[in-house]
Structure 1
């Protein structure tokens, strides 16, 4: 069977999300780096894989997929019988709770995290400046979101329950950036249960293989 191909960059949050899922499911894959500085992600060859010119794109035989959250659900379902079990939940009820927290990540956690990374890391890399008002506003938004997480994680080890699922995995790239790159580690460490959750999931071997490569390029 041909290896799955993932087109992207290892420091891209969405690429890292897909690679982490592949590692959790113990699926062999090939990472094909895309030269973003040369604009290769906006050229016809890459746009044939992801018409929005974003990362990543996945090829699995004749199937091509983009959008990292859709990709990891596909992988969790296709390889349900290998690697980390129950990433989607094992009952209809569990699946609903996993999906609920996946939606929370997408709509409540991701937007302020993305804004923080963009302002503190991406803008300066592109020669721009950091808007401190935007940073402060989004740090406050994220703080309120993490208060909800603190309450949830005081009642269960992981977001969907007492097992690791896609609900947790989806958060890992931006949690990594918060702790290691944007100077907002206290948002995590100041919350007992959120911090314990992060310490648990970031120690997973599947994630460690990804984290060592999540280094933003220099200017």
Structure 2
């Protein structure tokens, strides 16, 4: 197997998304640390891997990719026979999973990422959290989670009865938010709360979390 290299940082939600997928698929990889504090991601050497200067950048042999969700799709298809099945070949089930992957990317992530920045990133780098922004985006997240609560009353996971990329893609921001005041929005909804407990306890995800160093 060609050596897989993930250029990024364990604190990055996008990098963590890719790493979780690789661990679920039981595919070996090498993490190449990128020091974003010194602007390494904006240097020419890194821009050759990711033209937008963001992490992660991904290489599998002569294949070079960026954008975390595109990378997780590639991993899930290329290594379909290994580890956890994160996609399906059943057309109708695939369509349903795709819907909820889009919901994560278009509805959940913009809100969750803003809250993660305000409640997790800002305190870590010494900035002041804007509580007005937090309240605004917690209301928006609550609206999304109301829909999740109904969906998770119909199936164990968002994409159906099996864990898939539709669930995995939520893990990085969810993990940060569950250590903040926003966790109450997840915990007060029984179906959502059970889903969060389930997917955050997956061995692949615990490996990602264990790799963070402070």
Q: Is the TM-score greater than 0.5?
A: yes
Answer yes or no: is 1:197 the counterpart of 2:212.
no
Cα deviation code 1:28-69 (max 9, x no counterpart): 000011011111000000000001111100011111100000
RMSD: 1.3
* Structure 2: unaligned runs, 5 residues or longer: none
Question: What is the aligned partner in structure 2 of residue 93 from structure 1?
Answer: 92
Contact 1:8 1:57 in 2 (8 A): yes
Q: CA deviation at 1:203?
A: 1.4
| Mapping of residues 67-146 of structure 1, within 5 Å | 67-85=67-85, 87-146=86-145
* Structure 1: unaligned runs, 5 residues or longer: none
SS in structure 1 opposite 2:163? coil
Between the aligned partners of 1:114 and 1:176, the Cα distance in structure 2 is 11
Instruction: Give TM-score scaled by structure 2 length.
Output: 0.96
Between the aligned partners of 2:113 and 2:97, the Cα distance in structure 1 is 22
Cα deviation code 1:49-95 (max 9, x no counterpart): 0011111000111111000000000000001111112x122301111
Between the aligned partners of 1:21 and 1:37, the Cα distance in structure 2 is 26
SS in structure 1 opposite 2:182? coil
SS in structure 1 opposite 2:38? coil
SS in structure 2 opposite 1:50? coil
